[in-house]
Structure 1
Amino acid sequence: MREMLDAQLPNPAYLSDVAWNIVAHNKPQIDWFPWIPYEANLMRWAFLYPEAREQLVNWETDWARPFLAQIRVSLAKHPDSEGLLSLRDDILNGNEDAARLWADHEALEHPDGHVRRLRLPYHEGAEVPVRIMAMAPLRAQDMRFITLVPTTQP
């Protein structure tokens, strides 16, 4: 998986587990997302850290709703996962907007092919549209391999 991550250069790429803990990443991932050393969980960062609302453009509609919908699907597949249950509870207890959105009962398996925008310090605050390329390794299908590919397409 390390070779696959590095093969994605210059695009950021990471590998996460079933509860969105980032377990491996390439150098551009850490350049783009310097929060990884202090919060290695993508979902916790997106919902519990204020800077996420600035860096994830259209936070509620483009990021929060789909993220919560993905958590819902993952919980349906892994209802006894302590990591997922803890993640859901931390997010819903720590973010009023997330608790409100959770009540909509949306479900989404993966974001593969979605285009979303980021406003990152790495890009000096400029909005960068990226296409999310998502896959699961056959030998570890509960893992997520994500590459963010800058795009000009909406």
Structure 2
Amino acid sequence: MTSRRQVSADLNSDLGAYVKAWRHRLAPDDHQAPRHRRRRRSNVTQEEIADVVGVSVVWYSNLERGVRANYSDAFLDAVTEALRLNRYERELMYLLAIGRMPAPALTGPDPGALDPALRHFVEGQRWATYVLDRYAHVVLHNEVCESYYPWLRTDPSYSRWLFTDADARRRLVNWESDWVAPLLTELRITRARHPQDTGIAALVDAWLETSPEVRGLWDDHAQPYPLRSRRGMRLSGDQQTTLVDVVTLTDPSVNDLQIVSLLPVAGEA
């Protein structure tokens, strides 16, 4: 039987091993601070990373020694940038260092970090297709998608548009039951699956405070909202209703990404 002390020791060991490995994979010429560039090194040093992050070598080296402490989000995010961590590595560092997930980036994850095969699949679809992360950010979409969701040109947050923008109420037929309620259900499930993710809780709280209608739907646990794959939309400048089948593919092993396609229903309105 594994003791709590052993689990804690394993987490400390993992934290140190991962942070050190991430530093060692960096190219020295890209991260050497100015005063260190006179001599060439095979690895980026702790001192160089500390210079970039703006902390003492001792404070940064705590991470590489596996010391779990009350590190600030600002510090961990600065380390993320200095070590050039991707989204998943950032989440792992947060969990190992302070025992919780980071808040989501306001701009969403870097689409460049997505699997090339997924990018090829999405961009190759002839119907509107996009990828949502667990925070309801659109992290990837094809060009066709912008005819349905023009807001994607400036803002990746699907939940912000859906919950707070008057354009969403105009475009989406049965806005409450067919569109808002399903996303709220997904957010409930995500929050339950990731109870340590403060970003999910903060996201839900923000939208509940912003929209009384969304708050009412969230609080009304008894109201049945059947999930309909066939839904109505109004395209830009079009008052007629276009029916679409909303097809969703999920892969929980890939950080809760959902691939969503909007398939027009031929011959119906």
- Asked whether the two chains share a fold, i.e. TM above 0.5, the reply is yes
Letter in 2 for 1:5: V
Which ranges in structure 1 are unaligned for 5 or more consecutive residues? none
Pair 1:58-2:146 in alignment: no
Which ranges in structure 2 are unaligned for 5 or more consecutive residues? 1-117
Counterpart residue number, 1:119: 234
Counterpart residue number, 1:99: 215
Q: Identical aligned pairs, as a percentage? A: 29
User: CA–CA distance in 2 between the matches of 1:102 and 1:70?
Assistant: 12
Counterpart residue number, 1:78: 194
Pair 1:4-2:4 in alignment: no
Displacement of 1:44: 1.4
Pair 1:47-2:163 in alignment: yes
Indicate the structure whose relative CO is greater, using CA pairs within 8 Å and at least 6 residues apart. Answer: 1
Counterpart residue number, 1:146: 260
The structure with the larger Rg is 2
Letter in 2 for 1:7: G
The two structures, once aligned, show a CA RMSD in angstroms of: 2.4
SS at match of 2:177: helix
* 1:69–1:105 contact (8 Å) kept in structure 2: no
SS at match of 2:131: strand
* 1:57–1:119 contact (8 Å) kept in structure 2: yes
SS at match of 1:27: coil
Displacement of 1:65: 1.6
User: CA–CA distance in 2 between the matches of 1:68 and 1:138?
Assistant: 18
Displacement of 1:138: 6.8
Which contiguous aligned blocks of 4+ residues in structure 1 show a shift greater than 3 angstroms? none
* 1:16–1:22 contact (8 Å) kept in structure 2: yes
**TM (normalized to structure 1)?**
0.86
Counterpart residue number, 2:147: 31
User: CA–CA distance in 1 between the matches of 2:165 and 2:194?
Assistant: 26
Letter in 2 for 1:127: T
The partner residue of 1:18 within 121, 134, 154 is 134
Counterpart residue number, 2:204: 88
Letter in 2 for 1:97: E
* 2:122–2:142 contact (8 Å) kept in structure 1: yes
